[in-house]
């Protein structure tokens, strides 16, 4: 069963120290299966975004243990974590963080060029295939700043997929989108989970989005309900 676990969290505690000591995550324990589409919900200040940043390995100031694909990441150096993230985790944020003057295709290619595991031609082909998967291959040569908000978020998803990550993590991935584009993004995530077996963990305030995912994890005052 262990090899079916994409992510394992054990006894995670985290404190903030400014302006005074405050425990923001309290004894968090859960597993996420490979191919599962999971949503993290909770009121503002519940700790869900903080937890996502711990899960993403970008925040290492915690106690407890984090494993992704059977590899314990707690205690790794920042350089090791940066390499691991680029190869294994795709990110989709509320804001797309595309380079505005780069073409759609170039934006999607960037993480793979950084990883340097494939030739530029292979990466270009994969980037185009990802745009095709998301129905925006006709926008490949257009500058990112010429796209609509919904198109930009789809490009951000295509970019998150380029290194074939084990896990896609979303921080309010539909927060800036209207209901039609929110549904499009949800459908894309569901397709990736069901057809590609990709694990998706999304922090969301959108109850409708959350209730249609495979599982909901709710945080309240730093504790899992």
Is pLDDT of 1 > 50?
no
**Would you give the end-to-end CA distance of the chain in angstroms?**
25
CA 160 – CA 217 distance, rounded (Å): 23
Cα Dmax for the chain: 52
Q: Of the segments 34-43, 81-90, 111-120, which one has the largest average pLDDT value?
A: 34-43
What is the structure's pLDDT at 3?
A: 67
- The strand order across the sheet containing 63-68 reads 22-33, 5-16, 63-68, 71-72
Is pLDDT of 22 > 80?
yes
Q: Which domains, and CATH codes, for the chain? A: 37-60+76-219 (3.40.50.300)
Confidence grade of residue 39 (pLDDT, cut at 50, 70, 90) = very high
CA 7 – CA 36 distance, rounded (Å): 10
Please give the average per-residue pLDDT across 119-143, as a whole number: 86
Contact assessment for residue 13 and residue 187, using Cβ atoms and an 8 Å cutoff? no
CA 58 – CA 149 distance, rounded (Å): 26
Q: Residue 67 forms beta bridges with which residues?
A: 8, 72
Instruction: Look at the alpha carbons of 45, 60, 29, 20 in this order and tell me if their dihedral is positive or negative.
Output: negative
The pLDDT tens digits for 134-192 are 788 888 888 888 888 888 888 888 888 888 888 999 888 888 778 887 888 888 889 88
Q: What is the pTM of this model?
A: 0.85
């Amino acid at each position: 069963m262990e090899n079916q676990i994409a992510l394992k969290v054990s006894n995670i505690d985290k404190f903030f120290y400014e302006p005074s000591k405050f425990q923001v995550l309290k004894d968090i324990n859960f597993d996420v299966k490979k191919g599962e589409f999971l949503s993290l919900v909770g009121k503002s200040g519940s700790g869900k975004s903080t937890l996502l940043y711990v899960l993403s390995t970008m925040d290492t100031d915690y106690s407890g243990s984090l494993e992704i694909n059977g590899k314990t990441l707690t205690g790794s150096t920042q350089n090791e974590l940066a390499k691991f993230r680029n190869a294994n985790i795709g990110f989709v944020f509320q804001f797309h963080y595309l380079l505005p003057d780069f073409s759609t295709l170039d934006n999607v290619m960037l993480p793979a060029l950084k990883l340097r595991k494939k030739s530029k031609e292979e990466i270009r082909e994969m980037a185009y295939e990802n745009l095709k998967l998301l129905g925006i291959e006709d926008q490949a040569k257009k500058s990112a700043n010429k796209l609509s908000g919904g198109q930009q978020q789809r490009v951000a998803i295509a970019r998150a997929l380029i290194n074939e990550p084990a896990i896609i993590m979303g921080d309010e991935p539909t927060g800036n989108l209207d209901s039609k584009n929110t549904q499009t993004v949800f459908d894309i995530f569901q397709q990736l989970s069901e057809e590609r077996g990709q694990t998706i963990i999304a922090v969301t305030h959108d109850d409708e989005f959350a209730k249609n995912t495979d599982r909901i994890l709710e945080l309240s005052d730093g504790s899992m309900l």
